[in-house]
Structure 1
Amino acid sequence: EVQLKKYDDAEKSFDKLIKTHPSYYNGYLSRSQFWLEKKDTLKAIEDIDKAISLDKHLSYAYAQRAIIKFQYTKDYQDALADMNEALRLDPNMSSYYINRALIKYHLDDLRGTMADYDRVVEIDPNNLMAHYNRGLLRAQVGEKNKAIEDFSFVLKYEPDNYFAYYNRAVLYDELGNYRAAVKDYNKVLDQYPDFYSGYYARSEAKRKSGDISGGKSDYQKAMKLYEQQKNTNKNYEEVADNIDESENDTSEKDADKVRKESDKNINKFDRLLVADNTDMKSKYTNEIRGRVQDKNFNVEIAPAFVLTYYEKPDQVKQTISFIPEVENLNRAGILPYRVLLTNAEMALDSAKINKHFVSVNDYSKLIEINPNNAVPYFGRALDFMLIQDFASSLDDLNRMIQLSDNFVLAYFMRAVVRFKQIEYRASTQDFDTQNGKSVTEAFSLPKNSASSILLPNSSSNKKESVGMDYEMVLRDYDKVIEMSPQFVYAYYNRANVRCAQRDFRAALADYNEAIRLRPDFSDAYFNRGLVYVFLGETQKGIADLSKAGELGIVSAYNVIKRLGD
């Protein structure tokens, strides 16, 4: 009805929805979008206020309210407070940092703005808007070489971004690299042949580089275009912009600070770039649609630990993964890179994948030379695992164990790869690992229930074969623990497998042992807390989740708040 512009009908439907379900926060959030369609920002904010009163943990509600306050009421301080709260609840949402940066910029907090763009780049390294805007800020504060790096990064992915070319040209000019500046100015003026400011800038760069004739020609061109545009009012937007700068109208002055993506007026080259849908209507509405069908708050248990060469950085988490067997392997130097034990695996880009394909070929040559040497099988198994060829990885691990049955990491790795294979099949072949979900999706926490956790319905199809797969994983972890009783991550991983089998009492025993061996094991506390909650021992669960939060698992606090509600 809203999309069809049947606003009267839509209002009646919203009224009926909210009257029937007065505690349904998404009803208020959806209606807030409707009020924005009708340009009634006061009612939009009232509905978001109501939604937050029903559930104070809705990060996107705070973010949307912040945008309304920023864009419509110009209440920047309140907008900043709301965006801060949104980020407290969801600290890894890059779009929130981008919007907060915009708010800070309008509060003249340049350093704070740049810090937010730094955070966006950290979370999402290929975010071109963050790089572009950070380049503008770096130029403003005198970090010219760093600004050039940002604009160059943008141009690597957007070779037709003439705003980035022009800004980089200006910086090259200021740093005395006149030839590079002229080269960038050329690209801009080929696209914008009436841009008199560009001709003037290029005339200066040419003159400084020794091209006096070229500089004079560009200067004359700039003056001619300026007079033409002045007389015909062709460049009305720039004239209006200059007039606005001398006025005291806050909204007009604020508008001068940004340029929307669709705005290709090159005269706005020095303005921060913002998305065309700054109010996030489209993105926000889609998010609501998803949540309408997902009323429960899904909680994923912390994943198993694996051997790998790569790990996602985590500045919050305090626990450092260490086991003597891995340290001894690294000291031996038999593998080309340092092996890590982590449950924060980093996805491989194409360059890394290609590197490991090459490594597989290198190990294959070593195996051809000496097929009884166990080490190349282990190295190649690790490469195969990283490129997701689990069957080949298992073949190599089986062969290594035949050749050297006392290497504990081979059993650990085989358990890891077998479990990955189970999860991979579950995600690609549309069958249940045990009862419809993978181990990391075992728990679903109802928003208004502290004493129960919903589980997917069990499925008997292929249950027997999957059960055997799990049994083989457990046997390998049993062997690891038999060979190395202090191998804490074997207990933890075995507990995760038992969660997948819904053998929660056995999982508790393994988490208990992992925590006994490592009292600062944050992931074990987090997972044990979820198991306790599922078993109805909520207070024990909250205590474990609190401990996990103290040790750096920030999401644990969100779970506790849900339980408290």
Structure 2
Amino acid sequence: MANLIKKKKKPYSDDIPPPLPPKDKELFNYSRGNIEVPHNMHNNDPQSMYQKPRVKIPIILSSLRGKANKAIKNDNRQEALKCLNELIVSYPDNYKARCDRAEIYQHLRKYEEAIKDLNLAIDKKPNKARAYYIRGLIHNETNQLGLAKNDLNTAIKRDANDSRALESLKICAQIDINEQSFDQALINLSKLLEIDGKNIWALRTRGEIYFDQEKFSEALKDMNNTLSIEPKNVAAIELRGTIHRKLSNYDEAMKDFNRALKLIPGDPGFLLKRAKIYRLQSKYQEGLDDIEKLLLSNVEVDFQILRTRGKIYRGLCRYKEALADFTAASKKKQKSSIYARRAEIYKILRQYDNALHDLDTALKINPKEKDVSGMRSQVLAQLAKFDEALEELNSTLSNKPKDTTALSERGKIYRAINRHDEALNDLNTALSINSKCFRALLYRSKLYRDQKRYEEALSDLDAALVINPNNPQILRNRGKLYTLMQMYDKAQIDLDKSLKLVDHPSALRYRGKTLSKMKKYDLAIKDFDRALEIKPVSGNIFLDRGECYFNSKKYKEALKDLNKSLEFDENPYSFELRSSVYEELKNYKDALADMNRVIHINPNDVKVLKRRANLFERSQQFQESLIDWLQIKKSLPKDIQVLENCGRLLFELCRYDEALEVFDDAIKLEPNNLSFICYHAKILQEQKRYEEAINELSVAMENQGDKCELFVTRGAIYKSMGKFKESLQDLNKALKFELPSGNKLLTEAYCYRGSIYRSLHKNEDALKDLNIALKRDPDNILALCERSSINRDNARYDDAWKDIEKVLSPTLITNEISVS
């Protein structure tokens, strides 16, 4: 037994119970340390000379410790408490025993006894975390939040890997939120998510804090993560929809509110929010339908509903109904914005006196309402002629030479009558007096735009919108400017807001351009049609509508509009666009003629060279296309698209060594680009360097996980190696991916699998896959060849011959899938 004492003890943590020891035995040890000398050692009894001193055994070997552990494990708290009480009598300073008993007291809600044990434990071992965790949790249960926060923060600092850390961080974060210490709450929530990245509560709570702090991108990430875990979390869906609206991602916001309404059909709050999104998307009828649906649920027709419906009626040009709603809303809340809305309707209806009365009322409610003041000046301008207006403004400025409003309005009139120098002088003077005069900024931006000084114009409009964020003129002009600067997302936001307020032909034209760029072609055509109704003779609108028709694949209509546009102005862009129309109509001769004309005008235009390179490739002139791309590569040696096109064409022309060099350079720039990795592997496949290709793809899978592209490419290489089993495994995995119906990867996978089935003499399965591939891509060479072979083997010679004839047709574009 003495030897047992001398063995090296295995360390145990406070939370991991040791193995059950043997029953207590008296241990005898003749060493001089730790000996308790019995009283009978001091008597003169001869027999006492042979009695050995009794030693206090370590707690780890105590049977009581083992019994307590067993009771704790079995959740037998009363038995555990009994054992721990006895154990603590013998070992009053043992940290683990005190903490164990404190936890049992916590479960039994004997908080005072628990705190006593924990205080003693902390006093004995202040650097350990467990007692702080338990005490902090007890303080939280007893609503002593300050003490709880202090203890739990201390515990986390000492041991962030404790099993209680997750709950403790949640408690600390909630306390921080209650105390409005949001930055500290974010720190705790982030720590919590480092431990448990899928904690729904933490993701949602952090996202809500980010949202309140207007950190919308961060909030969006948290809501996306939340919904990836719980796709039907309605609160998260609602918040994400609101975030998308704040970010002007209206389509994404619409998807979220649609999803919310599928989960809770007919919810009035979601219907109202979706109606607002419809309005922002100019889908006024859909918005109105939602308002009518929510009114069927007998909700109170409050200010928000009236205001939203009034705005929708305004967008639908149902001005009398908008007027009624704004009037009803003004009775609910005396807000200057409602009077401004109604004034605008009066202005549209040319009831300028009523508009002026409402604007005066709005200014009484909020004298600093900048957009009201701006609209008022517009109404006054509508009531006067230019000469009379100039006379009145000159009179005003003679008395008040620093009147910025008068200076701005006079500058506007000077611009209208083409006195640009005088206009700029007045506007600069106004801004030197008051740099925040939004009218002067707006009117000066128009002058800069006339002179194509777009950055200066944008700077003025940005500054104006900081001052007056809802002014329709400023929004319209910035939207037009964004369109000229090819910033289409921003343009749509501004033009949508503007056109809800004023139906203007240039705003319609520029919104049409923006909608066309965003592939909302039907809406764009409506805008162009409406713009031509207002202004029927405009080469620019014909050009823009022609481009929209082209993008929506209505090529005959596009050609008609572009021909009309060129009657007004023979410009390079119109020729380039008409070339694209000819290209789609397979009229490559006229297409190249127009493109050559453009390049003659702009010989060093990289964009134009790219278009011609694409046109050459489309007409199967691969060598000419490659020449253009290589010329572009000299100007843009690190452009990813340029490198990909050069490498791809070199591959198509079987110049494998050169292609490999290009993709080597491309992969250095983007090591995880799947397209580059797959092309690189395909080149190695053509060079019969199969093992290298397989290794590259396998490494990519290890780094990026399961990707359809990688499975298809590796499956094709296994097929070339004759490893049909491995190839089928990869192709089957690829075909499990849910991709869009027109995706070429799945077509390739069906082709390769069908080819393997044919090699394995599984002709029925092969035909099934090949037919699917040809349904998706009727000109697929591999599928046609393989199906022809099967038909030939089955003595269906006519069918086999039809497939071969199609393959040999000179009009068939070379397919991306190589035939080997």
Higher relative contact order (CA 8 A, sep 6+): 1
Q: TM-score, normalised by structure 2?
A: 0.27
Identify the structure with the greater helix proportion: 2
